[in-house]
Amino acid sequence: MEQYIIKGGKPLVGEVTIGGAKNAALGVLAAAVMTDEPVRIHNLPDISDIDILLNAIEALGAVVERPNVHEARIIGGSITTCIASYPDLRKIRASYYLCGAFLGKYKRAEVPLPGGCNIGSRPIDQHIKAFEALGAKVVKQNGMLIAEAERLIGTHIYFDCSSVGATINTMLAASMAEGQTVLENAAKEPHVVEVANFLNSMGANIKGAGTDIIRISGVQSFHGSTYSIIPDQIEAGTFMLAAAATKGDVLIKNVIPKHLEAITAKLVEIGAEVEEFDDAVRVVAKKRLVNTKIKTLPYPGFPTDMQQVMATLLSVAEGTSYVTETIFENRFMYVDELTRMGANICVEGNLAVIEGVEKLTGATVEALDLRCGAALVVAGLMADGCTVVEHIEYVDRGYENFAQKLCGLGASMEKINSEDEKALRRFKLRVS
Ligand code: EPZ
């Protein structure tokens, strides 16, 4: 098992470049198999979720070439089965996008029920409701989601809640249905727009992505495409908050500032300085930050994926902060770990009340999900002394070269093997 060891107390200073958006890339890669022609995708993040999905696509019979870790060339024409049985698929959330893609293209799909971070019950009732509305028969059995239809007929679908996954999955299936489909109460996240843009680049007819009403005119087939993934809003936000948490001065490059507006607004509100450029933001914090209220909401509200790192930042801010998580029911698992480091946080239902303390102190903590892991790394960067973050395989699912990028900004941290006691001693000697 690998872990990060971090010597805290150093401000992050310098420049960092953000990679492609994980949650957009996963939807785009699933959509890429909907054409029989070659598709070339650039600016993929080099993270384990992407590798798992590409391996699964190759196992289905598609041609998958990797000219480099940030690029994939896919030819879906050689796919031989609609049954996605690649074992690791059930570890990732995005496995279910293959259901919408295959239902649209082949009118049949059998994929593992989704995995992903344990941050709540994460039902897929809205996905199933949409597929059935389009005319599919959908069953869950033996851990698989099975959908099939004689024909997919466009229809009017009203989602009961704003769901990124259900919106993307339904766009995939409806893009090759007969006639018009209207999605109401659709998710508006940047990665929903990205998947719609990619589908349109292959010849789909999707309008309104990024608003809560998406109109889709089904087409019979797609042509090939060359596409580049947008920058990752959550990776960018993580580095913005890390810069402020360490009272640093960081230029975060290759971002879309508009996608970061909710994070920027909160950073300015608590006393950090944020300067926006065309494709970069600079975050500077010189003094102790102050308290605020956070309520996670669907885009363009404050992102749920930023909640944990923001709460970490607020754990040493002056005053009492309130963080309300409205999207997932189990996204405060990091609180017990932060408490080991001296944080003073009380969780009641979906509300965390954070009494700002002077400082955190290093401890051994455990990454319990992807964004929890990122938050604990930021906590380690802020804390006095050494912090060990265990189970960092979660972090590697969503952050490419996380330790390298942070060390490039002056952090003292290493990725070590938990059994390697000498590495731990060597690091502590080196940084003491
Ligand atoms: C996507 O998850 C992201 N994952 C999540 O990021 C992100 O937190 C989430 O969207 C919200 O922005 C990927 O894109 C791979 P949802 P998803 O469907 O699609 C409920 C990360 O850290 N819901 O928008 O699973 C659901 O329970 C990950 O990168 C239903 O009730 O999220 C939740 O309360 C974590 N029925 C809310 O909607 C459904 O059928 C939002 O879920 C679907 C969802």
pLDDT (tens digit per residue) in 167-209: 999 999 999 999 999 999 999 999 999 999 999 999 999 999 9
Q: Is the CB of 52 under 6 A from ligand 1?
A: no
Protein residue whose Cα sits closest to atom 44 of ligand 1: 163
pLDDT number for residue 147 = 98
Which atom of ligand 1 approaches the CA of 120 most closely?
Answer: 27
Give the CB-side neighbour count of residue 204, counting CA atoms within 13 A: 33
Q: Is the CB of 120 under 6 A from ligand 1?
A: yes
224 Cα–ligand 1 center, Å:
29
400 Cα–ligand 1 center, Å:
21
pLDDT number for residue 194 = 98
291 Cα–ligand 1 center, Å:
28
118 Cα–ligand 1 center, Å:
11
Protein residue whose Cα sits closest to atom 16 of ligand 1: 163
Protein residue whose Cα sits closest to atom 39 of ligand 1: 124
Q: Is the CB of 164 under 6 A from ligand 1?
A: yes
Does the predicted TM-score (pTM) go above 0.75? yes
∠ CA 65-43-60, rounded to 5°: 35
Give the dihedral of Cα atoms 20, 24, 29, 30; nearest 10 deg.
170
Pocket test for ligand 1, best of 22, 49, 53, 122 (most atoms within 8 A of CB): 122
Separation between Cα atoms, residue 58 and residue 36, nearest integer Å: 14
Cis peptide before 112 (omega within 30 of 0): no
Separation between Cα atoms, residue 328 and residue 67, nearest integer Å: 37
Protein residue whose Cα sits closest to atom 13 of ligand 1: 23
Which atom of ligand 1 approaches the CA of 189 most closely?
Answer: 12
Q: Which of 99, 117, 372, 386 is catalytic?
A: 117
Separation between Cα atoms, residue 70 and residue 21, nearest integer Å: 11
Residues of the chain with pLDDT under 70: none
Q: Is the CB of 93 under 6 A from ligand 1?
A: yes
pLDDT number for residue 165 = 97
Phi-psi region of 254 (alpha: psi -120 to 50; beta: other; left: phi over 0): left
What is the side-by-side strand order in the sheet with 71-75? 63-68, 71-75, 38-42, 225-228
Q: Is the CB of 370 under 6 A from ligand 1?
A: yes
Give the dihedral of Cα atoms 240, 244, 248, 250; nearest 10 deg.
20
| 99 part of the active site | no
pLDDT number for residue 159 = 98
Separation between Cα atoms, residue 357 and residue 344, nearest integer Å: 7
Phi-psi region of 9 (alpha: psi -120 to 50; beta: other; left: phi over 0): left
The total number of residues written for the chain in this structure: 432
Protein residue whose Cα sits closest to atom 42 of ligand 1: 163
∠ CA 255-94-122, rounded to 5°: 105
Q: Are 359 and 316 in contact (CB under 8 A)?
A: yes
Regarding beta strands 156-158 and 180-184, do their DSSP bridges make them parallel or antiparallel, or are they unpaired?
A: parallel
Q: Is the CB of 179 under 6 A from ligand 1?
A: no
Q: Can you read off the two tokens belonging to residue 94?
A: 């995005």
Q: Which residues of 328-340 are buried (b: 16+ CB within 10 A; e: fewer)?
A: beebbbbbebbeb
Burial of 343 (0-12, 13-18, 19+ CB in 10 A): buried
Q: Is the CB of 126 under 6 A from ligand 1?
A: yes
Alpha carbon 414 to its chain's center: 23
Q: Are 398 and 22 in contact (CB under 8 A)?
A: yes
Protein residue whose Cα sits closest to atom 4 of ligand 1: 23
